[in-house]
Amino acid sequence: MGVFCPVLQSILGIILFLRMPYVVGNVGFWWMLIIIFICKSGTLLTTLSMSAIATNGKLRSGGSYYMLSWSLGPATGGAVGILFYFATTLSGSMYIIGAVETLKVASGFTLGPEALHMRLFSVFTLIIIIVINWFGMSWVAKTGVVFLSIVVLSIFSILIGLMGTGKLDWGFFKSNWDS
pLDDT band at 134 (very low <50, low <70, confident <90, very high): very high
Q: Is the pLDDT of residue 64 over 70?
A: no
For 2, list phi and psi in degrees, rounded to 5. Answer: -80, -20
pLDDT of residue 62: 64
Q: Is the pLDDT of residue 11 over 80?
A: no
Select from 73, 63, 68, 97 the least CA-distant residue to 83.
Answer: 68
What is the per-residue pLDDT across 119-133, written as a single tens digit (0 to 9) for each? 888 999 999 989 998
- Map residue 73 onto helix, strand or coil: coil
Q: What is the DSSP letter of 3?
A: S
- Map residue 158 onto helix, strand or coil: helix
pLDDT of residue 60: 64
CB atoms within 10 A of CB 147: 13
